[in-house]
Amino acid sequence: MTWALDHAADLSRKAAARLAEGRPDVAAAMFVRAFDTLESPGARIPGSEDLRLRILEGLHAATAKTGDPSALVPRLAMMATAAVRLAFVPSLVRKLAVDLARDDGDAVGIYLAALESRRPLDRPTLAAVLRILARALRIRSRSEPEEVQDLVPKIERLLACRPGLDFPRLYLARYHHAVEQWGRARQLLLGIRGPMKTDIKVLNLLGRCAEKLNRPEEAVAAYERSLRQREAQGLIHFRLGRLLLGAR
Amino acid sequence: MSSDLRDEPSRLRVSSSTSINPPGGDRLAGARRHLERAAELLPGHAEVAALLGHALLLGGDAGRAVTVLEESLVREPSPRAEFLLGVARLETGDHAAGEAAASRALAENEAFGRAWALRAECRDRGGAAPEAVDDLRRAVDCSPGFEPARLRLAAWLLAGRTGTGPADREPAADAALRVLARRPFEIHGAAALHLAACAQLARGDAARALRTLAGPAFPTAAEAALRRGLARLMLGEFEEAESAFAETEADPAAAEAATRFADHVRGRRRWEGGDNPLPPPRLEALPRICAATLLGRRPAPAAGAPAAAGEAP
């Protein structure tokens, strides 16, 4: 263990020297080796967090010069919760979201950690991050629950740190509806306060949950509001007719 | 069996215009409007067409319901759509086509209680009374909670619709009582008590009939008083009988029957069942196996009938 710490520290010092010599590509490779010495599977060294954070700072400095953060992102994602307090994170998030539009799992992990940290992001960066998360975490009406269940904890994290957002509520409601937790789905939908409140996707799902929960009048009201938004919805006319008829 | 009682089945037939009890004018109109629009937007959707047929039936437009349901069945066979088509055919007076549709529904789903009840109704209208009773028994077996079918079966048994003669009056009354006692009535308790009292009178059990008649007066106070008077008469309680008969004045038909019994009271003659036709149960007021009940609508309560639920004895 001590050997690994000493070895990583030694590599990190040498990498910093290479960076100072103007060889960021070599420095980046050495920082990666240093980090991986401490983070390789099954070999995480206890008490190495400070060193790993210093390595990440060095790796960021090196990749900032090469212009390619691909070596940094997965390593930052590994310890995103701790690493988001590093000074460079907001600028990295901006680069990932605005410049590179990264929506892979590592980038999403960094975005979520950045949002959870409450560190301020500039408006364009925040808008880009939310746009990417809305796409990357999307659960569709027809999504199979087992295919999207890994997204649920991420969406819940997002909703916990940004409770005013509408789309995580809709996505979670779709998931809970799919697994027949209609009460939870309804609760999420009723919590939508923004522009999506009158979206037909929200109203139709709310109507469906109300039907399942034997709240026919609530379902009728939701479907009627939906049809006011868009009249040409055959399925909603059908459901509304069925409800008014009292048929099952 | 009295001739009055034998004639009873014909009194069960009531036109659809009086039997439909839609979910409420505005809601039904709204349902129909939305389903018409859904059919426009989703052409070829069998479930939409079937539900539209249902709405048309409840709205009394059985002719158009036939068209819509037949189109639906061309696209997708469905026991429910066949059943609805059968109801629509029955409503348009074509009981043979109704029976055929009900048979097709049952071929796909033998446990479809309301389809058995529909076929019973169609067969009854076609004059096949014993077969209709058999179908109604199957309806009750499949859907014991469908109270109109149980009332209907009890009434038919009581009326001798199995083709048996007067000698079988008591067994028929026993069979009717068994059908009524099969499980408690939640909606049509007063009607069940009325039928039970009629059955108890038919088997000569006047004391029990009197206890049954202590429940809600059904279908009218005069009808209940007539049966109370008859029970008192059978028990030899002539003054009480005369007093009960006096309460029938409001209803001419009940009063006429009461007058005949009152003559017996005044003459102090012994009760002889064979010479004294039993007043038939007022089956017009009972829930019927017609479009409204087959489609799951609760019929409007009969005039003067209490809404209270009860249990058949």
In this model, does residue B11 exceed pLDDT 50? no
Cα separation values, B36 from A229, B69, B188, Å: 19, 13, 34
Q: How far apart are CA B102 and CA B121, in angstroms?
A: 10
Size of interface A-B (CB pairs under 8 A): 62
Of all residues in chain B, what percent carry a pLDDT higher than 90? 46
Residue A241 to residue B41, Cβ atoms within 8 A: no
In this model, does residue B283 exceed pLDDT 70? no
Residue A244 to residue B48, Cβ atoms within 8 A: no
For testing the chain A interface, which of B34, B48, B54 should be mutated: the one with the most A CBs within 10 Å? B34
Backbone angles phi, psi at B132, to 5 degrees: -65, -40
Residue B38 to residue A232, Cβ atoms within 8 A: no
| Cα-Cα-Cα-Cα dihedral sign, residues B100, B104, B110, B116 | negative
List of chain A residues whose C-beta atoms are within 8 Å of the C-beta of residue B55: 241, 245
Mean pLDDT of the B169-181 span:
89
What is the per-residue DSSP string for chain A?
-HHHHHHHHHHHHHHHHHHHTT-HHHHHHHHHHHHHHHHSTT-PPTT-HHHHHHHHHHHHHHHHHHT-GGGHHHHHHHTHHHHTTSTTHHHHHHIIIIIS---SHHHHHHHHHHHHHT----HHHHHHHHHHHHHHT---TT--HHHHTTHHHHHHHHHHH-TT-SHHHHHHHHHHHHTT-HHHHHHHHHT--SGGGG-HHHHHHHHHHHHHTT-HHHHHHHHHHHHHH-S--HHHHHHHHHHHHT--
Lowest mean pLDDT among A138-152, B280-294, B299-313: B299-313
ipTM entry: 0.76
pLDDT digit string, tens, across residues B155-172: 888 887 776 555 577 888
Residue A241 to residue B38, Cβ atoms within 8 A: yes
Which residues have C-beta within 8 Å of that of residue B60, sequence separation ≥ 6? B16, B17, B20
pLDDT at position B19: 31
Cβ-count burial B263-299 (b if 16+ within 10 Å, e if not): ebbeeeeebeeeebebbbbbbebbbbbbbbbbbebeb
Mean pLDDT of the B114-135 span:
92
List of chain A residues whose C-beta atoms are within 8 Å of the C-beta of residue B45: 234, 238
Q: How far apart are CA A234 and CA B120, in angstroms?
A: 37
pLDDT at position B281: 65
Q: How far is B209 from chain A (nearest CA, A)?
A: 38
Residue A238 to residue B40, Cβ atoms within 8 A: no
pLDDT band of residue B313 (cuts 50, 70, 90) is very low
Closest residue, chain A, to B48 (C-alpha): A238
For testing the chain A interface, which of B21, B26, B36, B37 should be mutated: the one with the most A CBs within 10 Å? B37
CA angle (A64, A67, A70) in 5-degree steps: 90
- SS3 helix, strand, coil % of chain B, rounded to 5? 65, 0, 35
In this model, does residue B4 exceed pLDDT 80? no
pTM of the model: 0.71
pLDDT at position B7: 29
